[in-house]
A = this chain, B = another copy of it.
Protein backbone atom coordinates (compact mmCIF):
# COMPACT_ATOMS: atom_id res chain seq x y z
CA UNK A 1 0.00 0.00 0.00
CA UNK A 2 1.43 3.40 -0.97
CA UNK A 3 1.95 5.95 1.79
CA UNK A 4 -0.97 8.39 1.72
CA UNK A 5 -0.10 12.05 1.11
CA UNK A 6 -3.08 13.23 3.13
CA UNK A 7 -3.24 13.61 6.88
CA UNK A 8 -6.11 11.39 8.03
CA UNK A 9 -7.66 12.27 11.39
CA UNK A 10 -9.94 9.56 12.76
CA UNK A 11 -12.46 10.46 15.47
CA UNK A 12 -12.15 8.71 18.84
CA UNK A 13 -15.76 7.55 18.74
CA UNK A 14 -16.23 5.37 15.67
CA UNK A 15 -17.82 1.99 15.07
CA UNK A 16 -20.79 0.50 16.89
CA UNK A 17 -22.13 2.17 20.02
CA UNK A 18 -22.91 -0.14 22.95
CA UNK A 19 -26.61 -0.50 22.04
CA UNK A 20 -25.87 -1.44 18.43
CA UNK A 21 -23.05 -3.81 19.43
CA UNK A 22 -25.40 -5.60 21.84
CA UNK A 23 -28.16 -5.83 19.19
CA UNK A 24 -25.80 -7.31 16.58
CA UNK A 25 -24.22 -9.77 19.04
CA UNK A 26 -27.63 -11.06 20.21
CA UNK A 27 -28.78 -11.37 16.58
CA UNK A 28 -25.64 -13.34 15.59
CA UNK A 29 -26.01 -15.61 18.64
CA UNK A 30 -29.71 -16.15 17.87
CA UNK A 31 -28.81 -17.17 14.29
CA UNK A 32 -26.07 -19.53 15.53
CA UNK A 33 -28.37 -21.11 18.13
CA UNK A 34 -31.24 -21.68 15.68
CA UNK A 35 -29.81 -23.51 12.66
CA UNK A 36 -32.44 -24.53 10.17
CA UNK A 37 -35.12 -22.36 11.84
CA UNK A 38 -36.60 -19.22 10.31
CA UNK A 39 -35.02 -16.18 11.99
CA UNK A 40 -36.66 -12.87 11.03
CA UNK A 41 -36.10 -9.31 12.07
CA UNK A 42 -38.90 -6.75 11.95
CA UNK A 43 -37.26 -4.30 9.57
CA UNK A 44 -33.50 -3.80 9.86
CA UNK A 45 -32.01 -4.71 13.27
CA UNK A 46 -29.76 -1.66 12.96
CA UNK A 47 -29.67 1.12 10.34
CA UNK A 48 -26.62 0.10 8.32
CA UNK A 49 -27.06 -1.58 4.97
CA UNK A 50 -23.57 -3.19 4.91
CA UNK A 51 -23.97 -4.63 8.42
CA UNK A 52 -27.46 -5.88 7.50
CA UNK A 53 -26.05 -7.50 4.34
CA UNK A 54 -23.63 -9.40 6.59
CA UNK A 55 -26.41 -10.55 8.93
CA UNK A 56 -28.46 -11.64 5.91
CA UNK A 57 -25.44 -13.69 4.83
CA UNK A 58 -25.65 -15.45 8.19
CA UNK A 59 -29.29 -16.36 7.45
CA UNK A 60 -31.32 -13.45 8.83
CA UNK A 61 -34.54 -12.65 6.95
CA UNK A 62 -36.01 -9.16 7.12
CA UNK A 63 -39.82 -8.86 7.35
CA UNK A 64 -41.76 -5.67 6.70
CA UNK A 65 -44.59 -6.63 9.05
CA UNK A 66 -45.55 -9.36 11.50
CA UNK A 67 -48.30 -10.56 9.10
CA UNK A 68 -45.97 -12.25 6.67
CA UNK A 69 -43.88 -14.19 9.21
CA UNK A 70 -44.58 -17.93 9.37
CA UNK A 71 -45.62 -19.38 12.75
CA UNK A 72 -42.81 -21.05 14.69
CA UNK A 73 -40.25 -18.49 13.52
CA UNK A 74 -37.88 -16.50 15.70
CA UNK A 75 -38.58 -12.76 15.49
CA UNK A 76 -35.97 -10.17 16.41
CA UNK A 77 -37.40 -6.80 17.51
CA UNK A 78 -34.88 -4.16 16.34
CA UNK A 79 -32.52 -1.90 18.30
CA UNK A 80 -34.50 1.31 17.72
CA UNK A 81 -37.66 -0.07 19.38
CA UNK A 82 -41.02 -1.48 18.30
CA UNK A 83 -44.48 0.05 18.80
CA UNK A 84 -46.38 -1.56 21.71
CA UNK A 85 -49.29 -2.41 19.38
CA UNK A 86 -46.97 -4.37 17.06
CA UNK A 87 -45.45 -6.27 20.02
CA UNK A 88 -48.99 -7.22 21.08
CA UNK A 89 -49.73 -8.63 17.60
CA UNK A 90 -46.39 -10.49 17.52
CA UNK A 91 -46.97 -11.90 21.02
CA UNK A 92 -50.36 -13.22 19.87
CA UNK A 93 -48.71 -15.29 17.14
CA UNK A 94 -46.69 -18.48 17.70
CA UNK A 95 -43.34 -16.71 17.40
CA UNK A 96 -40.26 -16.68 19.61
CA UNK A 97 -39.57 -12.98 20.29
CA UNK A 98 -36.02 -11.72 20.82
CA UNK A 99 -36.04 -8.03 21.81
CA UNK A 100 -32.76 -6.24 21.06
CA UNK A 101 -34.09 -2.71 21.77
CA UNK A 102 -31.25 -0.43 22.87
CA UNK A 103 -31.48 -0.05 26.67
CA UNK A 104 -31.32 3.73 26.29
CA UNK A 105 -34.26 3.74 23.85
CA UNK A 106 -36.17 1.48 26.27
CA UNK A 107 -35.53 3.95 29.09
CA UNK A 108 -36.89 6.82 26.95
CA UNK A 109 -40.08 4.78 26.50
CA UNK A 110 -40.34 4.58 30.30
CA UNK A 111 -39.81 8.36 30.58
CA UNK A 112 -42.60 8.82 28.01
CA UNK A 113 -45.01 6.67 30.02
CA UNK A 114 -44.04 8.44 33.25
CA UNK A 115 -44.74 11.88 31.72
CA UNK A 116 -48.17 10.67 30.56
CA UNK A 117 -48.90 9.26 34.02
CA UNK A 118 -48.06 12.68 35.53
CA UNK A 119 -50.63 14.34 33.26
CA UNK A 120 -48.15 15.95 30.87
CA UNK A 121 -48.90 16.38 27.18
CA UNK A 122 -45.86 14.74 25.57
CA UNK A 123 -43.96 16.59 22.85
CA UNK A 124 -41.36 14.51 20.98
CA UNK A 125 -38.72 16.37 19.01
CA UNK A 126 -37.65 14.06 16.20
CA UNK A 127 -38.47 12.60 12.79
CA UNK A 128 -42.10 11.48 12.52
CA UNK A 129 -41.24 8.71 10.06
CA UNK A 130 -38.30 7.22 11.99
CA UNK A 131 -38.83 3.79 13.56
CA UNK A 132 -37.76 5.00 17.01
CA UNK A 133 -40.36 7.79 16.99
CA UNK A 134 -43.09 5.45 15.73
CA UNK A 135 -42.31 3.15 18.67
CA UNK A 136 -42.21 6.01 21.21
CA UNK A 137 -45.43 7.58 19.89
CA UNK A 138 -47.25 4.38 20.67
CA UNK A 139 -46.49 4.71 24.39
CA UNK A 140 -47.61 8.35 24.66
CA UNK A 141 -51.23 8.69 23.48
CA UNK A 142 -52.03 12.16 22.16
CA UNK A 143 -48.38 13.15 21.86
CA UNK A 144 -47.13 15.71 19.34
CA UNK A 145 -44.12 15.14 17.07
CA UNK A 146 -42.13 18.24 16.11
CA UNK A 147 -39.47 18.02 13.41
CA UNK A 148 -38.42 21.65 13.12
CA UNK A 149 -38.94 25.15 14.53
CA UNK A 150 -41.61 25.99 11.93
CA UNK A 151 -43.82 23.15 13.22
CA UNK A 152 -43.97 24.49 16.78
CA UNK A 153 -47.63 25.20 17.59
CA UNK A 154 -48.57 28.54 19.11
CA UNK A 155 -50.80 28.87 22.16
CA UNK A 156 -51.59 25.16 22.08
CA UNK A 157 -50.25 24.50 25.55
CA UNK A 158 -51.80 27.56 27.21
CA UNK A 159 -51.89 27.02 30.95
CA UNK A 160 -51.13 23.35 30.47
CA UNK A 161 -48.42 20.98 31.59
CA UNK A 162 -46.11 19.59 28.94
CA UNK A 163 -43.21 17.13 28.84
CA UNK A 164 -40.64 17.49 26.06
CA UNK A 165 -38.33 14.65 25.04
CA UNK A 166 -35.98 14.09 22.14
CA UNK A 167 -35.29 11.34 19.64
CA UNK A 168 -32.15 9.68 21.07
CA UNK A 169 -30.13 10.50 17.95
CA UNK A 170 -31.40 14.06 17.49
CA UNK A 171 -28.92 16.92 17.20
CA UNK A 172 -28.65 18.25 20.74
CA UNK A 173 -28.40 21.86 19.55
CA UNK A 174 -31.51 21.52 17.40
CA UNK A 175 -33.40 19.89 20.29
CA UNK A 176 -32.60 22.79 22.64
CA UNK A 177 -33.31 25.31 19.86
CA UNK A 178 -36.80 23.88 19.32
CA UNK A 179 -37.41 23.80 23.10
CA UNK A 180 -36.60 27.53 23.15
CA UNK A 181 -39.13 28.20 20.38
CA UNK A 182 -41.81 26.15 22.21
CA UNK A 183 -41.32 28.30 25.33
CA UNK A 184 -41.33 31.52 23.33
CA UNK A 185 -44.49 30.65 21.39
CA UNK A 186 -46.31 29.41 24.50
CA UNK A 187 -45.59 31.96 27.22
CA UNK A 188 -48.56 30.95 29.36
CA UNK A 189 -47.56 27.32 29.77
CA UNK A 190 -47.56 26.46 33.48
CA UNK A 191 -45.14 23.55 33.76
CA UNK A 192 -42.62 22.14 31.35
CA UNK A 193 -40.59 19.00 31.98
CA UNK A 194 -37.69 18.83 29.56
CA UNK A 195 -35.90 15.50 29.36
CA UNK A 196 -32.73 15.66 27.32
CA UNK A 197 -32.99 12.12 26.00
CA UNK A 198 -30.31 12.56 23.31
CA UNK A 199 -28.06 9.57 24.03
CA UNK A 200 -24.58 10.21 25.39
CA UNK A 201 -22.92 8.37 22.52
CA UNK A 202 -24.77 10.50 19.93
CA UNK A 203 -24.04 13.72 21.84
CA UNK A 204 -20.33 12.80 22.10
CA UNK A 205 -20.01 12.01 18.39
CA UNK A 206 -21.81 15.25 17.53
CA UNK A 207 -19.30 17.28 19.55
CA UNK A 208 -16.42 15.44 17.90
CA UNK A 209 -17.87 15.86 14.40
CA UNK A 210 -18.18 19.63 15.00
CA UNK A 211 -14.56 19.98 16.17
CA UNK A 212 -13.06 17.64 13.57
CA UNK A 213 -14.92 19.21 10.61
CA UNK A 214 -13.46 22.59 11.57
CA UNK A 215 -9.88 21.23 11.40
CA UNK A 216 -9.84 19.38 8.07
CA UNK A 217 -10.15 20.08 4.37
CA UNK A 218 -12.53 17.17 3.77
CA UNK A 219 -14.88 15.58 6.31
CA UNK A 220 -16.21 12.05 5.78
CA UNK A 221 -19.06 10.57 7.83
CA UNK A 222 -19.26 6.80 7.33
CA UNK A 223 -22.68 5.19 7.64
CA UNK A 224 -26.04 4.68 5.95
CA UNK A 225 -28.40 7.41 4.84
CA UNK A 226 -31.15 5.47 6.66
CA UNK A 227 -29.33 6.00 9.96
CA UNK A 228 -30.66 9.08 11.79
CA UNK A 229 -27.55 9.53 13.94
CA UNK A 230 -25.31 9.29 10.84
CA UNK A 231 -27.39 11.92 9.04
CA UNK A 232 -27.13 14.20 12.11
CA UNK A 233 -23.32 13.89 12.05
CA UNK A 234 -23.28 14.77 8.35
CA UNK A 235 -25.56 17.78 8.97
CA UNK A 236 -23.40 19.00 11.86
CA UNK A 237 -20.21 18.46 9.83
CA UNK A 238 -21.70 20.37 6.87
CA UNK A 239 -22.72 23.28 9.11
CA UNK A 240 -19.02 23.79 9.93
CA UNK A 241 -17.33 22.48 6.78
CA UNK A 242 -19.08 22.64 3.40
CA UNK A 243 -16.85 19.82 2.13
CA UNK A 244 -18.58 17.14 4.27
CA UNK A 245 -19.85 13.88 2.77
CA UNK A 246 -21.78 10.85 3.92
CA UNK A 247 -19.97 7.69 2.74
CA UNK A 248 -21.88 4.39 2.64
CA UNK A 249 -18.97 2.16 1.52
CA UNK A 250 -15.52 2.22 -0.15
CA UNK A 251 -16.98 2.67 -3.64
CA UNK A 252 -18.67 5.25 -5.84
CA UNK A 253 -16.70 8.46 -6.31
CA UNK A 254 -14.84 8.19 -2.99
CA UNK A 255 -11.49 7.94 -4.80
CA UNK A 256 -12.17 11.18 -6.71
CA UNK A 257 -13.31 12.98 -3.55
CA UNK A 258 -10.13 12.28 -1.59
CA UNK A 259 -7.65 12.79 -4.42
CA UNK A 260 -5.25 15.65 -3.74
CA UNK A 261 -6.80 16.47 -0.36
CA UNK A 262 -4.29 17.42 2.32
CA UNK A 263 -6.33 16.63 5.42
CA UNK A 264 -9.32 14.31 5.88
CA UNK A 265 -11.47 13.85 8.97
CA UNK A 266 -13.23 10.52 9.47
CA UNK A 267 -16.12 9.77 11.84
CA UNK A 268 -18.84 7.14 11.74
CA UNK A 269 -22.44 6.69 12.79
CA UNK A 270 -23.23 4.47 15.78
CA UNK A 271 -24.47 1.65 13.52
CA UNK A 272 -21.41 1.52 11.25
CA UNK A 273 -19.27 -1.63 11.75
CA UNK A 274 -15.52 -1.22 12.34
CA UNK A 275 -14.58 -3.46 9.41
CA UNK A 276 -16.44 -1.11 7.04
CA UNK A 277 -14.62 1.90 8.50
CA UNK A 278 -11.30 0.11 7.97
CA UNK A 279 -12.22 -0.64 4.35
CA UNK A 280 -13.13 3.01 3.74
CA UNK A 281 -9.88 4.20 5.37
CA UNK A 282 -7.96 1.70 3.20
CA UNK A 283 -9.60 3.18 0.10
CA UNK A 284 -8.76 6.73 1.28
CA UNK A 285 -5.10 5.80 1.82
CA UNK A 286 -4.92 4.26 -1.61
CA UNK A 287 -6.28 7.35 -3.35
CA UNK A 288 -5.49 10.45 -1.31
Contacts and interface: CB of A to CB of B under 8 A. Distances in A.
A49 B233 CA distance: 60
A173 B195 CA distance: 22
Interface in A177-217: 179-180, 183-184, 187-196, 203
Contacts of A184: 176, 180
A172 interface: yes
Nearest to A195: B191
Identical copies in the complex: 2
A196 B189 contact: yes
B190 A196 contact: yes
Contact of A187 (B173, B183, B192): B173
Contacts of A172: 187
Interface string A14-26: 0000000000000
A183 B178 CA distance: 11
B196 A193 contact: no
Contacts of A192: 192-194, 196
Contact of A188 (B183, B187, B191, B203): B203
A179 B139 CA distance: 29
Nearest to A185: B176
Contacts of A173: 187
A191 B250 CA distance: 41
A114 to B, nearest CB: 11
B188 A196 contact: yes
Contact of A191 (B179, B189, B193): B193
A51 to B, nearest CB: 29
A194 B196 contact: no
Contacts of A176: 183-184, 187
A59 B96 CA distance: 83
Contacts of A191: 193-196
A189 B193 CA distance: 12
A203 B195 CA distance: 27
Nearest to A197: B190
Contacts of A203: 187-188
A193 B191 CA distance: 7
Interface of A: 172-173, 176, 179-180, 183-184, 187-196, 203
Given A190-B196, A192-B193, A192-B196, 6 more contacts: A173-B187, A176-B187, A183-B194, A190-B195, A191-B195, A193-B194
6 contacts: A173-B187, A180-B183, A180-B184, A187-B196, A190-B195, A191-B194
Q: Can you list the 4 inter-chain pairs with the closest CB atoms, starting with the nearest?
A: A192-B194, A180-B180, A176-B183, A191-B195
